[in-house]
């Protein structure tokens, strides 16, 4: 097994502005191992994808303990570094955010994110509080003794609580507070370039209309990392929905014939298994 510090250093080194890597988002051990077997360089958890496995909606409905246990499970599934979607870090107070970062490191994660949304609603934290929360997260990360990558998220464009004109000053303040990576999901491409100009690696979300943007186009905007959020898990649910409708409706089972065989699936899972064979 690769050491926590080595994973963290490898993860940090992947972030090269203008030369983005794709960080896919598994939702369980099997999807983590399959993505590792298919060539992922790092993994990121998805709060929505995991919530769906529990029959819950996204957005603050999974407890911190449950989410951290899930993160530890994903960490142990492969040898890859893992960053976690920890929503708003499970509390408003900066002290709670800092504690969550410390617990994230104890779970074996190479990094995590902190959002500026007051979950479970869609309202954004006030600007100054949002910055203070990032500052507390950064301080906790720096005290760990290894390069834990802290991603600061400005989620207002995603939640529609503010627009790009508000997101960019927030990202600038988060950069000033010491965040390692900046992330504003669904930020327009022209504004992604402005975010990249702030001097920190930028994560972009390939979702919605941005799923039509190519890796080369994200690179031209200066993006360093591309995630897919809950997209892969929703794609799996889409296959279940469409196939079930065909089975329960006209009695059509044809989609099942397009599934990969068990042997092929097992090959990918084996390829992503930790070198020690455990975990």
pLDDT of residue 175: 98
pLDDT (0 to 100) of residue 3: 84
**φ/ψ of residue 22, rounded to 5:** -95, 125
The reply to whether 278 falls in a domain is no
pLDDT in tens, 182-227: 999 999 999 999 999 999 999 999 999 999 999 999 999 999 999 9
Can you give the pTM of this predicted structure? Answer: 0.95
Tokens found for residue 121: 């609603």
Which structural domain range is residue 47 located in?
Answer: 4-271
Q: How far is CA 239 from CA 48, 123, 141, 169, in A?
A: 17, 33, 39, 40
Q: Dihedral angle at the C-alpha atoms of 94, 156, 138, 1, nearest 10 degrees? A: 110
Cα–Cα–Cα angle for 243, 32, 84, rounded to 5 degrees: 115
In a domain, 233, yes or no: yes
Is 117 strand, coil or helix?
strand
Domain count, the chain: 1
276 is a domain residue: no
Reading the block at residue 259, the tokens are: 């599934």
Whether residue 254 is contained in a domain is answered as yes
Could you count the other beta carbons within 10 Å of the beta carbon of residue 247? 14
Residue 147: both structure tokens together? 């390069």
Quote the distance between the C-alpha of residue 82 and its chain's center: 9
112 assigned to some structural domain: yes
Order of all β-strands in the sheet with 225-227: 21-23, 225-227, 202-205, 181-183, 149-153, 111-114, 82-85, 43-44
Residue 218 tokens, joined: 């994200």
* Residue 32 domain-assigned (yes or no): yes
Residue spans of the chain under pLDDT 50: 1
d(CA 82, CA 75): 6
d(CA 205, CA 231): 10
In a domain, 265, yes or no: yes
The closest alpha carbon to 168, from 147, 182, 149, 180, belongs to: 182
pLDDT for 155 equals 98
101: in domain: yes
Instruction: Give the CATH number, domain containing residue 169.
Output: 3.20.20.60
């Amino acid at each position: 097994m690769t050491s926590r510090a080595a994973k963290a250093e490898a993860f940090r080194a992947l972030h090269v502005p203008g030369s983005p890597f794709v960080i896919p988002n598994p939702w369980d051990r099997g999807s983590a191992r399959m993505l590792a077997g298919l060539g992922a360089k790092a993994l990121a958890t998805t709060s929505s994808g995991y919530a769906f496995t529990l029959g819950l909606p996204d957005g603050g409905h999974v407890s911190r303990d449950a989410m951290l246990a899930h993160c530890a499970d994903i960490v142990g599934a492969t040898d890859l570094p893992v960053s976690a979607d920890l929503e708003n870090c499970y509390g408003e107070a900066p002290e709670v955010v800092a504690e969550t970062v410390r617990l994230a490191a104890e779970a074996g994660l190479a990094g995590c994110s902190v959002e500026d949304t007051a979950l479970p609603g869609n309202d954004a934290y006030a600007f100054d509080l949002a910055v203070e929360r990032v500052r507390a997260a950064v301080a906790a990360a720096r005290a760990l003794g290894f390069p834990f990558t802290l991603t600061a998220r400005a989620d207002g464009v995603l939640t529609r609580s503010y627009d790009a004109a508000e997101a960019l000053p927030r990202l600038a303040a988060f950069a000033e507070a010491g965040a390692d990576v900046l992330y504003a999901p669904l930020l327009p491409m022209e504004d992604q370039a402005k975010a990249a100009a702030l001097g920190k690696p930028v994560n972009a979300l390939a979702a919605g209309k941005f799923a039509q943007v190519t890796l080369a186009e994200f690179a031209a905007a200066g993006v360093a990392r591309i995630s897919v959020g809950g997209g892969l898990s929703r794609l799996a649910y889409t296959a279940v929905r469409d196939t079930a409708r065909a089975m329960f409706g006209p009695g059509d089972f044809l989609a099942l014939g397009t599934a990969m065989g068990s042997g092929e699936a097992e090959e990918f899972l084996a390829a992503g298994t930790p070198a020690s064979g455990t975990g």
